[in-house]
Amino acid sequence: MLSEGTPWTGDAVRSALWRWVGVLVLLVAAAPIVHRYLIAYPDDQWQVDLEVYREAGRSLLLGRPVYTFETEVPQLLPFTYPTFSAVLSIPLALLPWAVAGWVWTGVQLGLLYAIVGMAFRPLLVRAGRFTGLAHGVVAALCVWISPVGENIRFGQVNAILVTLCLLDLLKGTDGLRVGRFTIRWPRGALVGIAVAIKLTPGVFLVHFVVTRQWRELRNAVLAAVGVTVATFFVAPEGSLEFWTSALLNSDRLGPNAGSSNQSLRGFVLRLYLSDGATTAVWGVLALVAAVAGYSLARAMHRRGSLVGEVAACGMVAILVSPVSWLHHLLWGVVVLGAVVGDGRVRRRAVAAAVGLLLLWIAWPWWGANLLASRSVPTPVARLVQNGDLWWACLSLPVMWLLVARHAERQSQVVTDRSHSV
């Protein structure tokens, strides 16, 4: 960004122009998705998760119970997030319903643009004065992946969580430059805010312990506890209900065995084993995934691959969480950015392109349709039904082989050169 008093040179004007062209490319690419989910979609299916958030904010304003109120028929969805999220939803409650849906979609597209800018930065800067255009093109490609579409369809909150965690780990040391101002915060604090909004980013707290980032852990815990305690004073009844009953009831999240749940637990539930066997198998698989994911995140941290560090933690959240809906795989955008790097390594670029193409396909819905039609053998349909889970699982070895190992080799090359001087 230009600081105050910086002259608008020809290069600066051209860069700004290409940036706006890139934004236009993203908007044009997103137009069919927006039309489908905000204009052509049935009213009773319109922004159903956003309605849950908005009604939680209205519950606080109206003095009605936050966690027992359900949205209208046919959804009948309860609010399931920490009460701090309900407080943050109050501005949505003050907007007309139709306006809220469009505003929230615009926020999601803006945050996707920001996520792409951070996750793909090494690739984008190679475009030189066309960086703004490249930014828009990559964001336009990402807007068509299934998890982004699902977030827009439901009016989900995942873009906020991914943005907060990326900002924290990538910019927490130097701060965020906005015009002539630099916004700074204690590194780890934004992760804490994300945890207070929704519990799944809590995987980063474990990562801070594994990597002995004690300062970041302290800041994250203080931020999460601080806003949670403050919320108790704003909404004591709702806060008490969440931490004593609503949090412990996983059935509030919906049918955990459905195609939408792409966590390891969702996969095991769809095997329809006994309750004891389901718990045991899920426990073993979740432990293996956690060890593999945190080991990868630790390796990324040691090698200075901050985007890879965030991506690995995001995949841990997908795999070990009891429930990981399709839209949770928005973390996949960060994985793609980590894998492609600056685009100079062909196999990394190819792997990122393949990963992007695979995320364009709504595997769980395709698999569910195959199961319903009985047109293919059930095992094959089940394999397709768990497609997003397989993507998350495969992302760990791919990032290890193409990102962590690559960084290790590059570090060894630098060391060898320095020894030869």
Taking only the tens place, the pLDDT of each residue in 34-93 is 999 999 999 999 999 999 999 999 999 999 999 999 998 888 899 999 999 999 999 999
CB 396 within 8 A of CB 373: no
pTM: 0.93
Query: Does the pLDDT value for residue 421 go beyond 60?
Result: no
Q: Taking Cα atoms as reference points, which of 195, 241, 212 lies closest to residue 68?
A: 241
CB 173 within 8 A of CB 187: yes
Give per-residue pLDDT as tens, 376-398: 999 999 999 999 999 999 999 99
Give per-residue pLDDT as tens, 334-346: 999 999 999 999 9
418 band by pLDDT with thresholds 50, 70 and 90: very low
Query: Does the pLDDT value for residue 5 go beyond 60?
Result: no
- Length of the chain, please? 421
Residue 83 lies in a domain: no
As a whole number of angstroms, the distance between CA 369 and CA 366 comes to 5
Residue 161 lies in a domain: no
Q: Which domain holds residue 398?
A: 259-405
As a whole number of angstroms, the distance between CA 61 and CA 279 comes to 40
CB 294 within 8 A of CB 207: yes
Higher-pLDDT residue of 388, 408: 388
Residue 413 lies in a domain: no
Residue 141 lies in a domain: no
Residue 418 lies in a domain: no
| Helices assigned H by DSSP within 158-199 | 158-171, 189-197
By three-state DSSP, how is residue 257 classified?
Answer: coil
- pLDDT score, position 411: 53
Give per-residue pLDDT as tens, 294-329: 999 999 999 999 999 999 999 999 999 999 999 999
Residue 191 lies in a domain: no
As a whole number of angstroms, the distance between CA 401 and CA 394 comes to 11
Give per-residue pLDDT as tens, 182-222: 889 999 999 999 999 999 999 999 999 999 999 999 999 99
Query: Does the pLDDT value for residue 114 go beyond 50?
Result: yes
Residue 358 lies in a domain: yes
As a whole number of angstroms, the distance between CA 95 and CA 107 comes to 14
Q: Taking Cα atoms as reference points, which of 363, 330, 322 lies closest to residue 152?
A: 330
Residue 179 lies in a domain: no
How many separate domains does the chain show? Answer: 1
The angle formed by the CA atoms of residues 223, 95 and 56, to the nearest 5 degrees, is: 50
Which residues are bridge partners to 182 per DSSP?
177
**Residue 130 burial (10 A CB sphere; 0-12, 13-18, 19+):** middle
Tell me the average pLDDT across 150-155.
97
Prior bond of 7 cis (ω within 30°):
no
- pLDDT score, position 17: 92
- pLDDT score, position 405: 82
